[in-house]
Amino acid sequence: MSFRLLPEWATQDATMLTWPHKNTDWVDILSDVEPVYVTLCQHISQVQKVLIVAHSDALKVHIFTLLAEAGVDMSAIVFVVAPCNDTWARDHGPLTTANHNGDLRVIDFVFNGWGNKYVADLDNNINKQLAAQVMNKQIAFHSSEFVLEGGGIEINESGVLLSTSECLLNPNRNPTLNQTQIENTLSQQLGARTFLWVDHGYLAGDDTDSHIDTLVRFAPNNTLVYVACDSADDEHFNALTAMKMQLESFITADGKPYNLIPLPWPKPIFNKDNERLPATYANFLILNNTVLVPIYGDEHDSLAVQQVQKAYPNHTAIGIDCSALIHQFGSLHCITMQLPRGFLK
């Protein structure tokens, strides 16, 4: 029986986090970023479990102390001890498919540091540790030779897979495969029925080659949530306007246009080296009955939360300050991975 990647709003067992530590690029701002992780654990643990990958036993003890002192329900915390290079769980985490009977199949794709930009040997071994330590033993676990990051794809309840051509067709991922071969692979391994390729849109400071989860997201009932830039003076204006036009041209299986919900555009944020940081409201995280929306102390924060709430009316949208996260060029969705119901033993 065929398996298909589950949309993010499918019922979840847990959310996976890979905790930052002194041997990651977070070292200079650990005191700023760890409180964000603690806040996430406070929110997530109220609706489901939190699976935390800790680089070492010593870090596990440190994390336990932080969360306990913050009043987190520790019965909702599951630890996996596994060495890691970095913390981008969305991209090194497992992708879980299901069939009509509800049987799960976990796929461990190759993570190559976004096209061999960064060392990722430890991160690429984390999923095997999840399978060994906490995964339901009845679940099939498949290691794929295909290079793929979770942040590079979106799928809806109809099996429509959404991605950017800049990322998935980039020769730094699967250089021997053309678009047709890539689509065939994703159809076979993730059960994708049709594909929507976004050919425009980028974020300054993004080093993922335009991951879709920073630009456009699926919501139920043929809805696309996307970032919209209304400032003609902004360097993103032309690309994001072209992206909007392309989204307007997409049609569903029954020949109708998608319901489009625009997200506001935050004001530019720069780091101490005057590099623009990739702040985006599209990098939200869907939980059971809740959506956590990254906010940045910007005047558009409240509107962003309202727009996400409109896209997910059966969820409660909550803003989470992610100003610290974007200093490593990612945000809320990038540091998390959902683990569907039945994943944990």
Q: How many domains does the chain divide into?
A: 1
Nearest residue to 248 via CA among 264, 89, 16, 240? 240
128 domain-assigned: yes
Taking each helix axis from N to C end, the angle separating 57-69 and 30-44, rounded to the nearest 10 degrees, works out to 70
Structure tokens at 210: 């335009």
H or E segment at 274? none
CA pair distance 58, 233, nearest whole angstrom? 49
32 domain-assigned: yes
24 domain-assigned: yes
273 domain-assigned: yes
Report the 10 Å Cβ neighbour count for 143. Answer: 12
CATH number for the domain that contains residue 83 = 3.75.10.10
Q: Which domain holds residue 201?
A: 4-340
45 domain-assigned: yes
9 domain-assigned: yes
345 domain-assigned: no
CA pair distance 196, 191, nearest whole angstrom? 14
191 domain-assigned: yes
Which residue positions in the chain have pLDDT lower than 50?
none
CA pair distance 218, 196, nearest whole angstrom? 11
